[in-house]
Structure 1
């Protein structure tokens, strides 16, 4: 990591996003990077005992991951420096019985996952990816990731001639208007989505996959690659910047951080729908791992009181066309550094103690810093920060890089903010 530069950090981020259309793919790619860096894989089903000093990672549901450095020093005395992010993003997910044919067009029924901006999903070249569960030739249950990669579907808009008021008042009915078109059928055809998935499994994983597909979690995604945009490449335009940007930058900072300190990165699934799952921040994943590392409750409680968690999740940058949607004193600017997010109603976990710690970190790293507070007359979103702080009692603050078009099929962030965030998190881990 000594050769890491702002340019190859951003190139790595773009490649990571393109290769991670689902939380499953994001975790698989993070696993590969950790293994390449010498981290050892742990399994929750195994007995860990007292782990030797070293670098480890563990996953849950293939969609959440915790990676950590365990030092020689007793963690009850030192505590962990932790960074948290989430692997999921709003999208369209395929229903269990999705097949419909209307006027010869085969469409797939979808559910809207999370608080997605729906208008930008129209007229995009879409593909499909996710996890498939099936039986193999020996009737053994297996789970594999698939990714169609190529444009495989589209949601066409209705022509303006048939909806003259569309630019003044467009309303989207998710049940009626969002099913993507995947192909045109001949009379008598009976499309079978599971058969299509089996064909894709064979293509990606070999002909040993001869049993039937039992179930799946498949989502649609935009095939347009992530890119640096602007005359001076000031911006990063990509899908899933919220929150794969924080996952990737957090991972790079962990890999570049000191191996002599107790440091940890946790990236969990289902944040966009409330984190209530076995692999979400409201589940037991992080508390369970920390308790096993501490070995006993007394050591666990002492360790937590010595620890600090940075919840890294994108912030709302002040949009030049909608500047009135911000508090004028708290409107973060893209490429002006990470943002401390505060809310008196505890929608963010930041308090004066934790924000002061991060301000000190950024001063040491020579990183500019900004503040965000939502307008007093508007509702505030939330993150894994308050959830984690309340569930394990760890001191926490919420930060993120400023972003435009959050929850759109394509979001925008500053190309210099990635390096600022990386520098700050690396300083925190050191």
Structure 2
């Protein structure tokens, strides 16, 4: 169990942005013999492991010997996490401070980012069409909190204005247009004058660590949803070694935290394009899709001991109790009874414990890529995820056993031809 948690910690550390998460997934897939399938190239029909990348989204699968001969089993997660994205014109400041202009990405817990040492990661797009990765993994930015002496009521309620209060500082002096890009270009080994645009996010530099009396908990940034991406890649590699009764597929979408309505999000066409190829074409996919299943995997809320009034006490999820089946009457989660049975069977057959999460009637639940895929594809979909405390914080908390539980049950789901 600890080995899986340690490996997850390594994956998280290597993945400060969706682009880095994809690169780390590719590294692991290629080490297992997977090869790239370009979107604009002829489809490689030879049996074997393949992957396809567009920006912050990755798909990987085992190409069957005969397209459409076996049902598809899909493990879906997302590569992005809430935080702050650098604005196109980033250089700003006031009162002798150099600052970086950012905007909020997703539903971040803003206060959790205050007074933390932050790095920058993402990519620079050059005029020649190439893209260069950026990974500044040393303290570079900090969003300073106002001292309590200047706001005596702060402990009775912190109010933050996204435009005024969340700008990180990164130096002293008068800001100069272009200096952040010059700094990043220099470290990336490119000419700043050749940088046409950028996609950059802040990330917390505190490394993952185990904690607790028996080190039974894992604290880390971006568990939502890199814990699921890591488990999905692990499950796919395990499933490809089994008898070929199914076609296992993994997809890690970008942009889930902002609604998925993008070219590389779950509402976009990428997954449908790949699945149609694996099913043997548009005319053949109807029967294949009808026999297929999807596991939508995103973290769920662990029971918070200080706020039990926000939970349904008959459906609590506890760290190290196994991944939770996520159920919602109005289909904010896509789980139905046959899908739940498939998940329960995977857990029973592998000895993995599982729980059930249902939101309190007075507390609306979030949603996942599951309902989007189910609506777009018509494939039966079930939502699951490991319990996490402090979801959408700069630093989240899960049980050390649950990453392994999720990967083991996920591999069985991908291999289940019932």
Residue 279 of structure 2: aligned partner:
294
Q: CA deviation at 1:211?
A: 4.1
Paired residue for 2:119?
A: 127
Aligned: 1:341 with 2:326 = yes
Is 1:95 the equivalent of 2:77? no
- Structure-2 change in CA distance of 1:130 and 1:210 (3 Å): closer
Q: Distance in 2 between matches of 1:175 and 1:103?
A: 16
Query: Is 1:37 equivalent to 2:32 in the alignment?
Result: yes
Aligned length: 412
TM-score (norm 2): 0.96
SS in 2 for 1:292: helix
Higher mean C-alpha deviation, range 298-307 or range 160-169: 298-307
Task: Indicate the residue corresponding to 1:142 in structure 2.
Answer: 130
Report the equivalent of 1:270. Answer: 255
Q: Measure how far apart 1:236 and its partner are.
A: 0.9
Task: Report if the CA contact (8 A) 2:68-2:280 is conserved.
Answer: no
Whether 1:245 aligns to 2:233 is no
SS in 1 for 2:86: strand
User: Cα distance, 1:214 vs. partner?
Assistant: 1.0
After TM superposition, the structure 1 stretch with the greater mean CA deviation from structure 2, 347-356 or 226-235, is 226-235
Give 1:6-405 correspondences, 5 Å limit: 6-48=1-43, 51-60=45-54, 62-72=55-65, 74-135=66-127, 140-185=128-173, 189-192=174-177, 194-204=178-188, 206=189, 209=191, 211-259=193-241, 260=244, 261-405=246-390
Name stretches of at least 5 consecutive residues in structure 1 with no aligned partner.
Answer: 1-5
Structure 2 stretches lacking a partner, 5+ long: none
**Separation in 1 of the partners of 2:95 and 2:53?**
45
- Does structure 1 retain, via aligned residues, the 8 Å contact 2:38–2:52? yes
> How far apart in 1 are the matches of 2:179 and 2:161?
29
SS at match of 1:170: coil
Deviations 1:322-343 (A, max 9, x none): 1111011011111101100001
Alpha-carbon spacing, 1:12–1:152, altered in 2? closer, same or farther (3 Å) = same
Query: 1:177 is paired with a residue of what secondary structure?
Result: coil
CA distance in 2, matches of 1:108, 1:199: 12
Q: Is the 8 A contact 1:195 1:213 kept in 2?
A: no
Alignment deviations for residues 201-244 of structure 1 (CA, whole Å, 9 cap, x no partner): 3433x36x464211101111111011111121111111100000
Aligned equivalents of 1:190, 1:123: Cα separation in 2: 21
Using the TM superposition, give the Cα deviation of residue 195 of structure 1 relative to its aligned residue in structure 2, in angstroms: 4.2
Post-superposition Cα deviations, 1:83-138, rounded to whole Å, max 9, x if no partner, equal 00000000111111122221110111111000110111111001111111123xxx
| C-alpha distance in structure 2 between counterparts of 1:20 and 1:321, whole Å | 31
CA distance in 2, matches of 1:413, 1:75: 39
Q: Which residue of 2 aligns with 1:413?
A: 398
**Residue 295 of structure 1: how far off its partner (Å):** 3.6
Matches of 1:179 and 1:271, distance apart in 2:
24
Given the superposition, is the C-alpha separation of residues 295 and 429 from structure 1 closer, same or farther in structure 2, using an over 3 Å criterion?
Answer: closer
Alignment partners' CA distance in 2, 1:216 and 1:30: 22
Secondary structure of the equivalent of 1:424?
Answer: helix
Q: Distance in 1 between matches of 2:282 and 2:130?
A: 37
Q: Distance in 2 between matches of 1:52 and 1:303?
A: 19
